[in-house]
Amino acid sequence: MRLKRTHYIEKLNKEFIGKEVIVSGWVLRRRDHGGVIFLDLRDRTGLLQVVFEEGLDPKIHELADSIRIEYVISVKGLIRKRPPGMENPKIPTGEIELVASDVEILNTSKTPPFPMDEDLSEVSEVVRLKYRYLEMRALDGLKPFIFRHQVNQTIREFLNNRGFLEIETPFLTKSTPEGARDYLVPSRLYPGKFYALPQSPQLFKQILMVAGVDKYYQIVKCFRDEDLRADRQPEFTQLDMEMSFVDENDVMILVEELLAYLFEKVLNITLDTPFPRISYEDALRYYGTDRPDIRFDMKLKELSDLFKDTSFKVFRSVLDSGGVIKGLKAPANFSRKELDELTGFAQEMGAKGLAWIKYNKNAKSFEEKWSSPIVKFFEKPVLEKLEETFNPLEDIATFFFVADREEIANSVLAELRIHLAKKLNLVPEKKFSFVWIVDFPLFEWDEEENRLVSVHHPFTHPKEEDIPLLETDPLKVKSRAYDIVLNGIEIGGGSIRIHKKEVQKKIFELLKISPDEAEEKFGFLLTALEYGAPPHGGIAFGLDRLIMLMLGKKSIREVIPFPKTQRAQCLLTGAPAEVKIEQILELHLLPGWEKKKEN
RNA sequence: GGGGCUGUAGCUCAGCACGGUUAGAGCGCCUGCCUGUCACGCAGGAGGCCGCGGGUUCAAGUCCCGUCAGCCCCGCCA
């Protein structure tokens, strides 16, 4: 390299007029006027117009004539004030330009597959992922990753100042029962044995608490071999934290402070703290889900009581078989076609149907006030009570009802609520509504496995006052877990952990994990708990999701440099890929390894 | 494992419902001209396995079946 860079482009301004500099970067655009050629040169920091004048140096001008888009060049020259009227207010360096006296073409480039100077959101993701390095190099392409860097550094700054230690934990670790499917790594030295990539550093961070670390955090990759979604990748990043001698409140307050600091610093947004806390039970009651989007209201109402004497067959049979009727109010009128679409939507979500009643507050007659094919089944007092329940402030509204098993009514209405809010534009843009979900049950019943499973994970501490219930009615036991939800997306969850061996053993027992299996899988944790484990708890954030939401992106792939497709492939490298037979043999992955072990 | 949407030039897309000349547009690319442009302009040009395979038909980008890939969702994700 003959011409060595002296300045980043963003550093250049009017003060450099008359000074000689060398800048290096890629050619974004060229405007060839024959006797004068303009190149827009960009580096990571900015954009600068470079001028090649035939009259100044015919040789350099000729060289510039061969330069194409995305060529890598270094240019030497004087910074000059642009002629009056020729300034470009669109770019920070728009008042100056670089008059090239020398240029070095460091590399040529094929024509890129997509424009490098435009918003690439219209370009298909397949192409963008295959050429991710070009997308990143394109104008503003690094923005999400620079932002992500700032988020990471701000988090570290905050936690370091609060006395947290960032400590690394292994990726090659041990498969644990419960939870997601593990990614396995075959062991070469131990035929038939496998490491597992961690689903989270959960056990290690608890061990670190026993080790006296007191306050731990890590920004760390986690791995789960499950199907992908817009907000789920097989490898993803957690902000993992754990603290000793704390309770739920300490963790939640610290997290609120951390998020407030982060949003203030990187987005210049002041968050309202503390965040609201809603019990798991209430979340389901009012929103039908444990990850409610509270940017808008439209709460669900329990209407089983109201309709308890109804003769309407659909409602009657559901109520008689122990189901519920729940509903919500949309502040709008809908056409028959729209109502059919909404019914279809509810059915896709698992409802048998969707009942609706249109409401017109100021109608002259009772008949005009309520309109629906099912309204004839209801007595006047029932409708009046319905009106009272929803208490519509608006003149026109539509009530929707789902009658079904409670779980289905909840999940369908939860989806319908989101769907309607989007349709009716009731979701405020640029609003960040955090909410804590607390008082989760410790267990739920797994029909398939016919046993209790942990709602959070097996190391979650039961509520102190519920511990006796472990023996008598474990499904009634609440846990010391908390989730944090942002705009309807779960971005984190944690709990106060069990730090006494007896309690931990009891939980394993209830989960039908035998003492032998517990010893084999978690023996190291159980042993550690016997050596003075302090009370402790923590939380883990889905950092990709948080950053996605902060940037208003629809998929975490947008904030992950090299993400996988929905079929878990990497379009850039082509992973996963076949390997040589020798590698497979070496790892004892072919039938017959048992024999080999005996030899 | 299941449901939905998509696949045509380097990129973004039209054409498909009703099969019928040589498959189009914008951007990009190439060549030439141009000394003040900044999404430069002007003139000319190149560029297509219509995802892939099979079928129906005199004839398929268009209809049918299968398949592959991408996206969204259900299941799954303690």
Query: Considering only CA atoms, which of A295, A292, A298 is closest in space to residue A326?
Result: A298
Please state, in angstroms and rounded to a whole number, the distance separating the CA atoms of residues A427 and A40: 40
Q: Is the pLDDT of residue A503 over 80?
A: yes
Asked if the Cβ of residue A29 lies within 7 A of any atom of strand B, the reply is: yes
Strand B near-CB residues (< 7 Å), A 480-539? none
What band does A429 get if pLDDT is binned at 50, 70 and 90? confident
- Strand B-proximal residues of A, range 232-271, CB below 7 A, are 232
What is the spatial distance between Cα A513 and Cα A179, in angstroms, rounded to a whole number?
13
State the architecture of A9-107 in CATH terms.
Beta Barrel (2.40)
> Sorting pLDDT into bands at 50, 70 and 90, what band is A599?
very low
CA dihedral sign, ordered A515, A521, A527, A529: negative
pLDDT band per the 50, 70, 90 thresholds, residue A592: low
Q: Is residue A593 pLDDT above 60, yes or no?
A: no
d(C-alpha A373, C-alpha A405), whole Å: 23
> Does residue A16 approach strand B to less than 7 Å at its CB?
no
- Alpha carbon distance, N-terminus to C-terminus of chain A: 59
pLDDT of A101-159, one tens digit each? 999 999 999 999 999 999 999 999 999 999 999 999 999 999 999 999 999 999 999 99
Give distance CA A203 / C1' B15 (Å): 59
Q: What is the longest distance spanned by two Cα atoms in chain A?
A: 95
The ipTM estimated for the assembled molecules is: 0.93
Nucleotides of B under 7 A from a protein CB: 1, 10-13, 27-30, 33-41, 69-78
Lowest mean pLDDT among A83-87, A154-158, A391-395: A391-395
Q: What is the structure's pLDDT at A353?
A: 86
Cross-strand partners of A85: none
How far apart, in whole angstroms, are the C-alpha atoms of residue A373 and residue A356? 8
SS3 A438: strand
Residues paired with residue A196 on neighbouring β-strands, in sequence order: A173, A184
Is strand B within 7 Å of residue A124 (CB)?
A: yes
Nearest nucleotide (CA of A493 to C1'): B78
**Do the beta carbons of residue A49 and residue A98 sit within 8 Å?**
yes
Does the CB of A227 sit below 7 A from strand B? yes
Handedness of CA A545, A547, A551, A553 (dihedral sign): negative
Strand B-proximal residues of A, range 175-214, CB below 7 A, are 178-181, 199-200, 202
Run of H or E residues at A285:
helix A280-287
The band of A336, judged by pLDDT with boundaries at 50, 70 and 90, is: confident
The confidence score (pLDDT) of residue A598 equals 47
pLDDT of A86 higher than 60: yes
Tokens of A512: 């039908």
pLDDT for position A340? 84
3-state helix, strand, coil in chain A (%, to 5): 35, 25, 40
Q: Which CATH superfamily is domain A296-423 in?
A: GAD-like domain (3.30.1360.30)
User: In whole angstroms, what is the distance from residue A124 CA to residue A127 CA?
Assistant: 6
The answer on pLDDT for A498 being more than 50 is yes
Q: CB of A173 under 7 A from strand B?
A: no
- Is it the case that residue A70 has pLDDT exceeding 90? yes
Reported as a single tens digit per residue, the pLDDT across A432-465 is 999 999 999 999 988 888 889 999 999 999 999 9
Query: CA torsion angle for A40, A553, A148, A162 (degrees, to 10)?
Result: 150
Inform me whether the pLDDT recorded for A189 exceeds 70. Answer: yes
Question: What is the predicted pLDDT for the residue at A413?
Answer: 94
Q: How far apart are CA A51 and CA A64, in angstroms?
A: 9
Superfamily of domain A145-278+433-559: Bira Bifunctional Protein; Domain 2 (3.30.930.10)
DSSP state of A199: S
Measured between alpha carbons, how far is A320 from A304 in angstroms, rounded to an integer? 11
Q: What is the pTM of this model?
A: 0.94
- Asked if pLDDT for residue A10 goes beyond 80, the answer is yes
Query: Does residue A4 register a pLDDT over 70?
Result: yes
Q: Distance in angstroms, CA of A342 to C1' of B17?
A: 26
Query: Cα separations (Å) of A236 from A239, A446, A570?
Result: 10, 27, 14
pLDDT at A594: 52
What was the pLDDT predicted at A238? Answer: 97
Task: Determine the protein residue whose CA lies at the shortest distance from the C1' of B38.
Answer: A88
Q: Which range has the worst mean pLDDT, A207-211, A319-323, A439-443?
A: A319-323
Summarize the confidence of residues A259-276 as an average pLDDT. 97
Mean pLDDT of chain A: 93
- Nearest one of A41, A49, A60, A30 to A97, comparing CA atoms: A49
Q: Where are the domains of chain A?
A: 9-107, 145-278+433-559, 296-423
In this predicted structure, the answer to whether residue A61 has a pLDDT above a threshold of 50 is yes
Amino acid at A269: I
